Structure formats: structure tokens, C-alpha cells
Amino acid sequence: MAAAAAAKALLRPSATTPDLSPRFPLSSSSSSYLPFRASLSRSSFLGLRLADSANSKISALCRRSARNTGLRIEAAARPTVLVAEKLGEAGLALLREFANVDCSYNLSPEELCAKISLCDALVVRSGTKVTREVFEASKGRLKVVGRAGVGIDNVDLHAATESGCLVVNAPTANTVAAAEHGIALLAAMARNVSQADASMKSGKWQRNKYVGVSLVGKTLAVMGFGKVGSEVARRAKGLGMHVIAHDPYAPADRARAIGVELVSFDQAIATADFISLHMPLTPTTAKIFNDETFAKVKKGVRIINVARGGVIDEDALVRALDNGIVAQAALDVFTVEPPPKDSKLVMHENVTVTPHLGASTVEAQEGVAVEIAEAVIGALKGELAATAVNAPMVPAEVLSELAPYVILAEKLGRLAVQLVAGGSGIKGVKVVYTSARDPDHLDTRILRAMITKGIIEPISSVFVNIVNADYTAKQRGLRISEERILRDSSPEAPLDSIQVHLSHVESKFASALSDAGDITVEGKVKDGIPHLTLVGSFSVDVSLEGNVILCRNVDQPGNIGRVGRILGEKNINISFMSVGRTAPRKQAIMAIGVDEEPDKETLQKIGETPAFEEFVFLKL
């Protein structure tokens, strides 16, 4: 439950806030970020809303926060899911239990753009192009794109990230099916099965023409040692083949565990009798098998591709087949699908082809449908999907442990930005994490995202989540640096404290400035509840919920009573109070939590109280 609550905070938007500052696009002629302008008035503080990180059993704090801000844990209206390509019935059934499902197939780009503004989620296979225009046409409503399969080259990930839209795929359900199809093509090609079949059906009996080659003892190079590639390797080993692999990201111990040696790209293609492609299509891998590559392969090599057509330069492959450098090819994928009817590659006598059937088994189709439906539903609920491709993957156990710190991080960001004086530009944010754990073992990506969310959302109409936090910060010229400090304390808790420093800014509450001149706030988690523990150089102990009034005053008797009387006259309930001071009868900071929102007249009376030197009202 804790992990789910934290994930919801990462993905769900806060309640709508007014756009309190102008847009600040990057200058096309500037190589550095422009200052992120924070122009806030006191009245703007009253309109802030807490992000929906509630629906958690971490603490009563989260539930009360949701009630206080009027947020509902579940939306009253069912979300709408557009299924743009055929999906297995099991997956559709799951989606229909949760959402309104619109199955509209074979949409033109214009039709898709016309529909998408009414949809919260989009499910596609490989045929639908989800372009920047689609995300722009959604007008911010589209929350998740589900790719029913592995490859996501038909989705503009950059545009999705900019808009804060999560992209999920279904990488596991069709793994075995794709691997089996790769092995089927390998064997069929080696024994000329499709050519012999066509020959017999044309009335011929040509045993001598279709003599094949054996697989036993041959070297297979698996190019891309991910889920499918490793499954192909396992099966090829069972056929008696010697398997090598190339993958710059695969761990050598995983390869060794199944008897596979990881080698360089050039070594793999130069020594292999068979090459099986299992790499994604990226700018780096596009047409990676070209004339130059084919010039380095072992003469007479046989190539299998059940990955992506674009990784092969198809014209170069035809030339390699014609001159005998490549003996045969077996292809399930093509640069353009379907390929032209007069394609020289498809019609080549030494090429075996299938129409993208890698995932086309009954079991795989149903499995993919269920996997993508579950991922889409989870994302719509605000959960981080394990198959998200444009957000950092955070293990469930880590997310559960960090859950209260996720809430703390956003609230510290919201508090800090409210302390900035109008017109000040936030040029830099420094986040300091203290922990008893090795800094290398502390994953702070989600915490950084939530601090970014807390700083940007209150003064902008932009929705920020873990998907687009870094991008949004960069676009607004907000530099965020992180420091991890090892502290001698209990290693049971992942963090001892989080500090947020806003540098080179003016503060409307001068006491929030540290000795270095930064607005500084610090928080800790106590018994699962986020607490504010430091403002500037003053130590406090404040539960971070609802509304907070910070006052700097001369430390003398009667101050608490005076403030209490002013609030009581307006029937404003005090939920907590904390006082931090430099020394007896010197300077002190009073932190007062209130259930209701004081009006301007009440706040003015507090400010006019004798011995009170400054105050600020904050809504968390």
C-alpha cells in the first residue's frame, strides 16, 4: 500500500492551480538556462493545492490532507481508453471493468488526433504512429500510452515525456513466442523449408536443389541479449549450437549462466555462421547492418531478424545476398510494413519471410493483451508501472520504503517556493540528503522529481510528475543539484533528513535565510509522518499538513496567548504549535498549524502583534 501511495504521488497531477507567472521559454540564442522566475503574492499562496499523494495507509496525515484540499481518491467519472488496434478479449475485458473503452481501428492520423482529446489512455500495437501531433492534440488529457508489444519506435517518447504522459509496453508476454519464431525461422532457413514447400506445391520434386546445412556445431551470434535474445540463445544451445552474443548493456554473469560468451560487435559478426538480431530500433541501431557491416561478416553467413526491420539496410542486404556474402536471410520484420509487393528482398529466392508473426500465438496475444491492460489501468490509478519506458524504474520495495519521503520531498519544495519574495528568480536548487547508508545505494530520482513538482506546480499551470520532472525543470531554467551526506545514525531508515536550498533569492520571510544567504528548509520523517525541522537557522518541529503560519518574534511571555486569542476570535482551530529560538529572551520562530484558512484581516492582526517582527502564511 505504501508503494502504491507513493507512486500515485509521483504520477497524479495536483489539483488545478492558477498560472501565477508568465511563461519563460529558453532563449534560442542562449547556451545557458534562463532564470526560473517566481512571482508570488500572498494571495497566491491561498490558492495552492496539495498534490494527490493521499490514499495511503502510511499515516492519517495523508488522508486528512486529501480531505482538507477537497481531492477525491478516485475520480467520479470513469476514464476513457482508446484502443486503436486489435487487442485480445482478455485484455479488453480488464479495461472495460475499469474504464470506458472505445475500440476504433485503422484510424488515420487526422482521425486519431480528433479523438485523442477525449481520451485518458491510448492502446496501440506497432501499426499506429503516436506522434508529437497526437500528444499536442490531447491537450494534456492523455495520461498513458500502452504499447501492446515490446518495441516503442512508433511512439514519440520525447513528446510523451514533455507532456508528462507515461508510456508503457508489454515486454514479457510475447518473449517466448518471439524466441520460438526466431528458432523456427532459423531452422526453416537452414533446411530450405519454405522454398521446398513452394516447389512441391508447384508440382516439382527437387531434392538435390534444396540441400540444407546442419545447426549442430555452428556458431550463432545473438545481437542483443535481452529477454528474447537470451531465450533464443537457450534454445539454440539445446540444438547443439555454439552461442556468442553482443550487447553493450548485458551483464557478463547472466550470459555465462547459460553458457554464452559476450563479445564485441565486430568479433560477433566476423565469426558467426548465423546471426540473429534482437536489438531495439534506435538512432544508434538504425541500418546498423549495412554495406560496411556486411563487408566484415563471415562469407556465407545466414541472418535472422525478428526484432525491427529498420536495423537492416534492406538494399544493402539484397546486394549481399546477390554477391554471396550472405547465403540466406529469414525475416519477420521490415523497414516498411507491409513491404512493397515488388520488394526485391521479399521476392529473393534465398530469403524466407513471414508477415511480422513473432508475437502471433494464441497464448502470446492473450498474454500481451492482459499485460498491457494491467499496465494501463495501473498508470490511470496513479501507480508506477514496472514496464514504463520513459520513467525511472523503481523496485516496489524501494518505493515502499521511500513513500513517506516522497510526500516530504514535494511539501518541502512547495514550502520553499512560497518563501520566495515576488520577482526573485530561482536560478538554482540544491538538495542535501543525509543518511547512514552508502550514498551509492540511495536512489533519489523520485525524491528529486517530487521536489521539482513542489517548486514548479504552485507557480505554473504545468503538470509535473516523475515522467517529465527533469525536462520541465530544464525548460524553465531550474538547475537542481544533489548532495548526499553520510551520517552516523541508524541505517534502518533510508534517510535521516532532506534539505532544500534556494540560492541567490530574496525571501519574504527573512528568517528562512541561512547564514549562506539561501532559503533553507529541512524535513524529516517521524513515525511515518513528514515534519518540518529547520527553517533558515531556526530548529522547529512541525507536522507538514494543512496550513502553517511562521512568525519571527522576540522571545517573551504572552506571544503564544496573543496569537491564540486572535485565531480563536475567528473560530480558527490550532492543530499544533512549535517554537524554536536562538536563546532565551532572544529571537524565536513560532510555527502554528491551523485547520482553517485565515482571512486577510486575521493575518494582518497577527502581523501587528507587539514583538512580532515578521510572519508568513503557507499552505502546504
DSSP classification of residue 166? E
Calpha distance 148→170 (Å, rounded): 6
Q: What is the CA radius of gyration of the chain?
A: 30
Calpha distance 91→372 (Å, rounded): 7
Residue 256 is a catalytic residue: no
Single out the catalytic residue among 12, 125, 302, 308: 308
Planar angle of CA 336, 291, 183, nearest 5 degrees: 60
Calpha distance 448→365 (Å, rounded): 38
Residue 506 is a catalytic residue: no
Place of cell 514479457: 172
- CB contact set of 202 (below 8 Å; sequence gap of 6+): none
Single out the catalytic residue among 49, 246, 356, 484: 356
Q: Is 89 helix (H, G, I), strand (E, B) or coil?
A: helix
Please count the other Cβ atoms lying within 10 Å of the Cβ belonging to residue 16.
11
Say how many Å lie between the first and final Cα of the chain, rounded: 23
Calpha distance 390→168 (Å, rounded): 8
* Cα within 13 Å of Cα(467), Cβ side: 29
- Checking 468-473 for CB contacts under 8 A at 24+ apart, the result is 468/161, 468/162, 468/163, 468/164, 471/161, 471/162, 472/164
> Which of 6, 56, 3, 10 has its CA nearest to residue 463?
10
Residue 562 is a catalytic residue: no
Question: Is 15 within 8 Å of 52 (Cβ atoms)?
Answer: yes
How far, rounded to the nearest angstrom, does the alpha carbon of residue 18 sit from its chain's CA centroid?
26
Single out the catalytic residue among 89, 337, 483, 613: 337
* Catalytic (active-site) positions: 308, 337, 356
